[in-house]
Amino acid sequence: MSIIEGLQDFVGDALALLTPVEASWQPTDLLPDLAGEGWRERLGAFREEASRLPAELLVVLVGNMVTEEALPNYAIALQRVARDATGTSETPWARWLRGWTAEENRHGDLLNAYLRLTGRVEMREVERTVQHLIRNGFSQGNEGDDYASLAYAAFQERATRLTHAKLGRLAAANGEGNLARICRKISADEARHEVFYTRVVGEVFERDPEGMILSYHATLRKLIAMPGARMADGRAPGLFEDYSAAVLRAGVYTTHDYAAVIRHLNTAWGVERRSLAGKAARAQDYICRQPERYELLAAEIECRALERAPARFSWLVDGLDR
Ligand SMILES: [Fe+2]
Ligand SMILES: [Fe+2]
């Protein structure tokens, strides 16, 4: 039995991190009620508030939504680890995968509905981008290495948690309270998911420290690919790079955040304190140096991204030089 397979009981205990459907928020709870008396006023007030969001933040939100909407890509990737043999298996891993997917599915739905109701977005362009992204697929770069997939998931859940939370704070600072609330709700889900993947990787570290450190090392060897890296609108090339530059410009997720995520995970997994030898010790040394390395590279990476020639995002009604 593989280590991953042997984690069924551990994963079973961690299933409590999923929220039962009856206790879950649904997108409807965070959007104006369009049924019944007064819907025009409610929608009008909602749109008035949404108009306060600067276009720079709206573009970031669209990119985040597109990334969330490509959920099938990530579910396929995690299926390789969780292995739900029938699609309805009752093993803890299979139940986690389906429960996680069902919770994540609300994120794309909610952001999609929010953006549509603002009236500020060319929804057809956004929808085309989502379809392209799902067709283009997703690779975290270490397929077949289950440990690396789990380390990647822990990293991404934390990164998306920070991204949604920061965007929410910026929305609030601009007087857009509805979006602030939406981002907080999504971010809280990401936080629970982050705890799951971080715990599971922590347990793999206990059972197979050498194997886990080599896989974590493989994950960090290259700049960690973002889930939406293969997004395209079928128009200008380089859409993802333009979106990434917009994220940096808006200060929603920076190289400093990237470094902070690695630093946090290193601490959570006790990377520094493990006594390892040979190849594993070299990997450990490399991993421990990464937060500082990215801190030092931050200015250079950001300069390069911000030097991108301006172009236009097809996503916004009013357009925006990207
Ligand atoms: Fe999400
Ligand atoms: Fe997530």
Residue 101 contacts by C-beta under 8 Å, 6 or more apart in sequence?
71, 75
Ligand that comes closest to the CA of residue 105: 1
The CA angle 136-298-138, to the nearest 5 degrees, is: 10
Q: Catalytic annotation on 69?
A: no
Q: Which of 69, 145, 146, 189 is catalytic?
A: 189
Ligand that comes closest to the CA of residue 68: 1
Work out the percent of the chain whose per-residue pLDDT is above 90. 88
Q: Catalytic annotation on 132?
A: no
Average pLDDT over residues 276-293: 97
Superfamily of domain 5-222+232-306 in the CATH hierarchy: Ribonucleotide Reductase, subunit A (1.10.620.20)
Q: Is the predicted pLDDT of residue 309 greater than 80, yes or no? A: no
Q: Which of 49, 67, 68, 164 is catalytic?
A: 68
Provide the pLDDT confidence category of residue 120 given band limits of 50, 70 and 90: very high
Ligand 2 center from residue 232 Cα (angstroms)? 21
Domain boundaries, the chain: 5-222+232-306
Task: Pick left, alpha or beta for residue 137 (phi over 0 → left; psi -120 to 50 → alpha; otherwise beta).
Answer: left
Provide the pLDDT confidence category of residue 321 given band limits of 50, 70 and 90: low
Write down the pLDDT at residue 322: 47
Q: Catalytic annotation on 157?
A: yes
Instruction: Mark out the alpha helices in 119-145 (DSSP H runs).
Output: 123-136
Task: Pick left, alpha or beta for residue 275 (phi over 0 → left; psi -120 to 50 → alpha; otherwise beta).
Answer: beta
Q: Is the predicted pLDDT of residue 300 greater than 50, yes or no? A: yes
Q: Which of 67, 145, 193, 203 is catalytic?
A: 193
Q: Is the predicted pLDDT of residue 206 greater than 70, yes or no? A: yes
Q: 216-220, 243-247, 307-311: lowest mean pLDDT where?
A: 307-311
Provide the pLDDT confidence category of residue 311 given band limits of 50, 70 and 90: low
Ligand 1 center from residue 278 Cα (angstroms)? 38
Q: Catalytic annotation on 104?
A: yes
Q: Which of 67, 129, 160, 219 is catalytic?
A: 160
Average pLDDT over residues 283-302: 94
Ligand 1 center from residue 41 Cα (angstroms)? 30
CB 82 within 8 A of CB 161: no
pLDDT digits (tens, 9 = 90+) for 138-178: 999 998 999 999 999 999 999 999 999 999 999 999 999 99
Give the chain's largest Cα–Cα span: 71
Ligand that comes closest to the CA of residue 156: 2
